[in-house]
Each structure stands twice: as structure tokens, then as C-alpha cells.
Amino acid sequence: MSEGIQRIATAFASRRPAAALMPYLMGGFPTLEESRRIGEACVEAGADIVELGVPYSDPLADGPVIHEAATRALAAGANLAGVLEVARALAPRVPVVLMCYANMVLAPGAEKFVERLARTGASGLIVPDLPYEEADPVLGACDAHGLALVPLVAPTTPPQRLARIGARARGFLYTVSVVGTTGERAARAGRFAGVLARAKAATEVPVALGFGISTPAQARQAADAGADGVIVGSRLVRAAAESPDPAAAVGALVADLAAGLA
Amino acid sequence: MSTIEHRFGPYGGQYVPETLMPALAELERAWLEAREDPSYRAELDGLLRDFGGRPTPLYYARRLSERCGRRVYLKREDLNHTGSHKLNNALGQALLARRMGKPRVIAETGAGQHGVATATVCALLDLRCEIYMGAEDTRRQRPNVQRMELLGATVHSVDAGARTLKEATSAAIRDWVTNVADTHYVIGSVVGPAPYPALVRDLQRVIGDEARAQLAEREGRLPARVIACVGGGSNALGIFTAFLDDPGVELIGVEAGGEGIDTPRHGAPLTVGGRAGVLHGALSAVMQNEEGQIVEAHSISAGLDYPGTGPQHAHLRDTGRARYAAVSDRDALAAFRELARLEGIIPALETAHALAYTLGAADSELDLVCLSGRGDKDLAEVLALS
């Protein structure tokens, strides 16, 4: 097993039977330097894996909070090179999984992009607009460089398709909890168990639940419903947008989430 | 059952969030069944005729021909109900939405022509309708906003980015991701993830099929050259498709040159060239920076103000079957005025790009131009510029 995939597996295993906490942060938001500090605050507050977003001009899977953060990060001068430096700074302390839209991965060519990402010490890659049918070139490159290409499944994904995606998952299976874009939502925890059971039956890698999870109570419910990992994004990005001290604000929320999962 | 293209050479594909993949498969199945179903075809053809006004006339433009020094025919899509070719596609897709049992329809619109066409067919078929339109476009195409609202649609003004067609399309796709269970997304051009580029082309090819037969009857021959404007490119593919297998017929797509293709302020990804990229679910010609951020387009015409284009156009360009050129804002405005004076036809600003190209083109034996829409919507904007 290659190094990135191994690090992710170890991060999940070391938390069992509890669920791994996987905060998302937007690289370059509000600035590159501050996003690095936010990432470090996440690690200190108990993050097991950090999901690092690359700001993109047209983020189709994202709701208003993350879309706005991406727009502001780009306006503030963030670029891929800068976000990869954030990954490089965090990677010695925590497995980093980059979340990046397909056009930025394909622009230099998947092989070049993945090689560059691997050199930062990151462990994996999530491409939210690269479904199973389009993933081969990126999966091949990730496998060659020891990075986990983490696929997504949704509540709309039918069983046979879920099995195909699950069989080819690396690192973990990113399970979208709701039909919709990223963003905070009122508790729909009653649905978590069904979504998670379907996903777990379809794969041998850990299953992480994301989209619409923002509070410690929801994180706890996701873990109780069987999630191996819990991803929290928009709530943390909103805190980074609203607070005069983004790293402290995000760190405090991550600590609360960690306490909820302990 | 036959199949439908997902790729055109290297272009096309389905670069969308996983949530939408089952809906795209459902749409593809529904279309493959519907197009073989005589009752669907009969209902669509009946509505195109009795509600839409098809076949649209093929008009020999005498004074324009004299001005150009060659014979020029105009395919009068401006005489379609709602004033553009957009109705052809909106009718076909709204009937599909009903067939799939989806009571809610969403659409993006730039100039507002596709939004008006979609709002119109939703009124006709009693479907709920919500339209996404960039805030800048709701300003410069105000009459179309009023028409959509009168027709019972809800118009969402989109404030992100440059507040034009790209952001409206992104907002519509996010709505679809959220409401996919009961909603059909009526995409307005030959763009987006498969099966949309082929589906919309199939619904628009009636333009070229009619024109080919009409010209054969009038002139007993094929056109030497077919000219159409290209934003996403649906009227162009609609008229090109009937002539793709006739190598003697030259096909010209005219993009928005904006303030000039040597500046960043244009909407001409096919003409300018460069690396292909993914926008709104398909790999195609796209305006982007070095690291793959999509850049904003510019055109005086809201319908061509788009940094991407249909994947089949990119393939037709690469294979040399079609050629693409750009016309500036200034030349399009001049052609807008010139056609009004010469022929008593006020064209849409989008269409005026194809007319400007025609006015300045090299000689040919017979030009066929797609007059894709009428320009009433553009009057305030054009008069404010003079």
C-alpha cells in the first residue's frame, strides 16, 4: 500500500471505534498565510485528516458559503501554487486530502498535477466534478504516485453504480449525506443510517459522511449512525469569514466537534 | 434502441457532481425512447407547427444581396413564436420533462430568449418554471425579464462573478443538484454534460432540415456557405447539421469578438484557440487562465457573452469541417442597424454577429444565414449606445 493511502488508513484506524474528524478549509481564505494557521489550529484541536479546498472560479458542488470564500480567496490572489504550499506545511502533521475541481486537475494534465501534489506530501485528492466515468486518467496518476483518489457517492447513486464506485475507492468513500450542494442544514440525522449502510456495504475502505453536517450533535449522530469519518466544511468556513481571528474561531469549533465525537 | 454521443472527438463528457449522474442517465433513456416514439414526435411536430409557427420562412434578402454582391438567404427563426430558435429546444425538452414526470423546470438564460421560450412552454404545459439570469443581463435585457414574469416564471437574478450567462448556468446547475428529484433542467444550448449537447442539437436540427428542403425547392441546389452566430452554439449546430455530410457546403460559426480578440474582452474561445477545458460539465474550447480558472467573457450581446462553447463545435473546428471567426461589438452594432434599414428586419444582437460576417465576407455563390432571433429585446441597449 502506498504512503498516502497508508496514512489515511492509519488515521481512521487510530480513532476506531470512534469516528475520525475531518475538517474542510478553503486554501487561501481569507489569505494563504491565515489558511495555513487555520489548518494548524484544526490539527491542534483534534483533526484526524484535513481536507484542503482549492479555490475555483466555478464550484458547481458548493453552496453559497464555500463559493463566496473561493471567490474572495481568488480576489485576494490565491492560486494553486500557494494552496499547495499550505498542503506542504500541514502534511507533516496530518494527512492532507486536496479538494480540487476537475478543470484545474486537467489543465496541466492529470499526471503533472498529481505528481506536483504528491511532492507536497499530501495523501489524497477529491475531485467533486469527476464522476466514475471520467476518472480513469486521474485514478491512474494517483495510483502511480501513491495518492488516494477519493470518490463521492450521493443518495441518488443507484446500488449497482454504488458498488462500482465503492470497489474502486481509495483512502475512503466520501458519502454525501443529502441531495444538494455543500452547506449547513437543519438536522436530517434520521437519514444518515440508511445512507451510510448503503455506502458501507459497497466498499472495503472507511466511509466518511459529509455535506450538511455542522454541529457537534450532527457529527455525533453521523458517528452513531456508523460513519467512520465526519466531514465538516461550510460551518468552519463561515467562522473563518466572520471572525476577526479565523484560526482561533475555527480551532474552537473543531475542538467542540472533537469533544462530541470522543 | 440507438445511442447518443457522449464525446465528439476528445470533447464532451460528463464532468458533474455524482448527485446528477443518475438524472443524466434518466434523461438519456427518456430521450432515446421519446425520439423513437411516434406519439412524442407527433405532439412535438404539432406544437412546433401550430404553437410555434413552423416551418419558418426562408427569405431571399434582395437588398442585402445587392449590398453584398451575392445571393443571400435568411432562415427566419426570428419568426418563431417567442422570437428566436430557442423555442424548438424548449418545447422538446418540456415535453420530455412531462414524460419523465418532473413537475418543475429550471433554465439558465443570457439574453433572455431561452428563458422566455422555457417560461412559455411551461405555461403551455402547466409546469412550474424558475429561470436563472445574471444580474447584469436582467438589466440589459429588461423586456425579457418582464415577459418571463408575465408568463408565470420566477426569475432569479444571479449576483456572482460578472453576473452574466456563466454564473446563471452555474446557479441553475446548483439548483438542479439540490432539487433533482422533481426538477428537469432545460439547458438552452448545445453545452453541458452528455446527453445535452446531442439532445439539444437533435431538437434544433429542424432549422437546417427545413432550410435545405426550402432552398432545394427555390434554387434547386445546396448553399455554398452557411453562416450562424455561436455562443453555446445551438442555432449554428441546428442549421449546420443538415449539411455536415455535404463537403461542398462551407460552414462558418461567428463568435463574439467583443472589444477585439487581441484583448481579453471577447467571447471567442473557438476562434482564439488554446487548451481545452471543462466548463459546465463538458470538455470543450473555453477561456481560462494558465492554472485552469475560467475567465470572464465579454460581449455586447448577452447571448454570446460566455467563455465556453458546445463540444461538437470544438470537434468541428479541429476536423476542419467548420470554420470559426469573431466579429467585434462595433461591427455587430453596425450590422444590427444595417439590416433594419436594408430589409426591415431588426435582428437580435447575437444574430447581428452572423450578419456582420456576411456583410464583410469573401464572395460566394449562395449564402444561407441563420437569422436566429429578433432584436426587440435589444432596442434600449442599442439606443443607449448611440
Interval B82-124: pLDDT, tens:
999 999 999 999 999 999 999 999 999 998 999 999 999 999 9
Strands B71-76 and A148-149 come out as unpaired
* β-bridge pairing B282-285 and B276-279: antiparallel
Q: What count of CB pairs under 8 Å joins A to B?
A: 113
The pLDDT tens digits for B309-322 are 999 999 999 999 99
Cα–Cα distance measured from residue B180 to residue A176, given in angstroms and rounded to the nearest whole number: 15
Residue type, B232: G
Distance, in angstroms, between B83 CA and closest chain A CA? 31
Whole-number Å distance between alpha carbons of B161 and A27: 19
Strand ordering across the sheet containing B282-285:
B7-8, B11-12, B282-285, B276-279
Element (H, E) at B76: strand B71-76
Provide the residue-wise pLDDT of chain A in tens; the chain has 262 residues.
578 999 999 999 999 999 999 999 999 999 999 999 999 999 999 999 999 999 999 999 999 999 999 999 999 999 999 999 999 999 999 999 999 999 999 999 999 999 999 999 999 999 999 999 999 999 999 999 999 999 999 999 999 999 999 999 999 999 999 999 999 888 677 889 999 999 999 999 999 999 999 999 999 999 999 999 999 999 999 999 999 999 999 999 999 999 999 8
For the cut 80, the answer to whether the pLDDT of residue B178 exceeds it is yes
The yes-or-no verdict on residue B160 having pLDDT over 90 is no
CB atoms within 10 A of CB A242: 9
Residue closest to B285 by CA, chosen among B248, B318, B244: B318
Sign of CA dihedral B120, B123, B126, B127: positive
DSSP B118-163: HHHHHHHHT-EEEEEEEHHHHHHTHHHHHHHHHTT-EEEEE-STTS
Q: Of A34, A40, A48, A62, which one is the catalytic site residue?
A: A62
Segment B328-356 mean pLDDT: 98
Cell 468556513, located at residue: A237
Q: Do A128 and B178 touch (CB under 8 A)?
A: no
Q: Specify the amino acid at residue B120.
A: T
pLDDT at B385 over 90: no
pLDDT level of residue B237 (50, 70, 90 thresholds): very high
B293 and A57 within 8 Å at the Cβ level: the answer is yes
pLDDT value, residue A187:
63
Distance CA(B6)–CA(A170), nearest Å, equals 27
CA distance B207 to B215: 12
Asked if pLDDT for residue B199 goes beyond 80, the answer is yes
Contact yes or no for B287/B307 (Cβ under 8 A): yes
The residue of chain B nearest to residue A130, with distances taken between CA atoms, is: B15
Q: How far is CA A191 from CA A72, A151, A260, in A?
A: 34, 21, 19
∠A244-A248-A249 over CA atoms, to 5°? 70
Q: CA angle, B304 as apex, B301 and B310 as ends, to 5°?
A: 170
User: What residues contact A114, with CB distance under 8 A and at least 6 apart?
Assistant: A105, A125, A138, A141, A142, A144, A145, A147
pLDDT category of residue B384 using cuts at 50, 70 and 90: confident
Q: Which residues pair with B229 in a beta bridge?
A: B254
Give the separation between CA B27 and CA A157, rounded to whole angstroms.
Answer: 15
Q: Is B178's Cβ below 8 Å from some Cβ in A?
A: yes
pLDDT, one tens digit per residue, over B20-58 is: 999 999 999 999 999 999 999 999 999 999 999 999 999
Lowest mean pLDDT among A179-188, B188-197, B356-365: A179-188
- Alpha helices, DSSP H, located in B17-73: 21-35, 38-50, 62-68
Q: Specify the pairing of strand B366-371 against strand B128-134.
A: unpaired
Contact criterion met (CB < 8 Å) for A130 and B280: no
A51 labelled catalytic: yes
Contacts B166 to A, Cβ<8 Å: 58
User: By C-alpha distance, which of B254, B315, B295, B55 is closest to B166?
Assistant: B295
In this structure, which amino acid lies at residue B37?
D
Is the link from the previous residue into B264 a cis peptide, with omega within 30 of 0?
no
Judged by a CB distance cut-off of 8 A, whether residue A154 touches chain B is yes
Cell of A123: 495523501
pLDDT of residue A256: 98
Does A134 reach chain B within 8 Å, measured CB to CB?
Answer: yes
Kind and range of the H or E run holding A103: helix A102-106
User: What whole-number distance in Å separates Cα of residue B94 and Cα of residue B126?
Assistant: 10
- Are A126 and A99 spatial neighbours (Cβ–Cβ below 8 Å)? yes
Question: Would you call B294 and A58 a contact, using CB atoms and an 8 Å cutoff?
Answer: yes
Name beta bridge partners: A60: none
Residue B216 and residue B246 in contact, taking contact as beta carbons nearer than 8 Å: no
Query: Which residues in A lie closer than 8 A to residue B295 (C-beta atoms)?
Result: 57
Return the pLDDT at A29.
98
Which residues on adjacent β-strands are paired with residue B373?
B84
Contacts of A6 (CB under 8 A, 6+ apart): none
Subunit contact A57:B23, Cβ cutoff 8 A: no
> Chain A: nearest CA to B13, how far in angstroms?
7
Give how far Cα B141 sits from Cα of B131, B304, B377, B380, Å: 14, 13, 6, 8
**Per-residue DSSP letter, A54:** P
Q: Which of A51, A85, A204, A224 is catalytic?
A: A51
Query: Is residue A175 less than 8 Å (CB to CB) from chain B?
Result: no
Cell of A169: 475507492
Rounded to the nearest angstrom, the minimum Cα separation between A19 and chain B is 24
C-alpha dihedral over B80, B83, B86, B90, to 10 degrees?
-80
Do residues A191 and A212 make contact, with C-beta atoms less than 8 angstroms apart?
Answer: no
Query: Which pLDDT belongs to residue A190?
Result: 83
Cβ–Cβ below 8 Å for B17 and A60: yes
CA distance A108 to chain B (A): 7
| Residue A160 touches chain B, beta carbons under 8 Å | no
CB contact under 8 A, B178 and A153: no
Do residues B47 and B53 touch, judged by C-beta distance below 8 A? no
Q: Which of A63, A49, A48 has the alpha carbon at shortest distance from A96?
A: A49
> Is the CB of residue B170 less than 8 Å away from at least one CB of chain A?
yes
E strand intervals along chain A: 20-26, 50-53, 96-99, 124-126, 148-149, 152-153, 173-176, 207-210, 229-232
Does A66 reach chain B within 8 Å, measured CB to CB?
Answer: no
ipTM score: 0.97
CB distance B161–A71 less than 8 Å? yes
Q: Give the whole-angstrom CA distance, residue A125 versus residue A98.
A: 5
Q: What is the DSSP string of A180-193?
A: S-S---S--GGGHH
The pLDDT, as a whole number, for residue A229 is: 98
- For residue B241, the number of C-alpha atoms closer than 13 Å in the C-beta half-sphere is 21
Q: Which residue has the cell 452572423?
A: B354
> Quick one: pLDDT band at residue B154, thresholds 50, 70, 90?
very high
Residues of A in contact with B160 (CB under 8 A): 67, 71
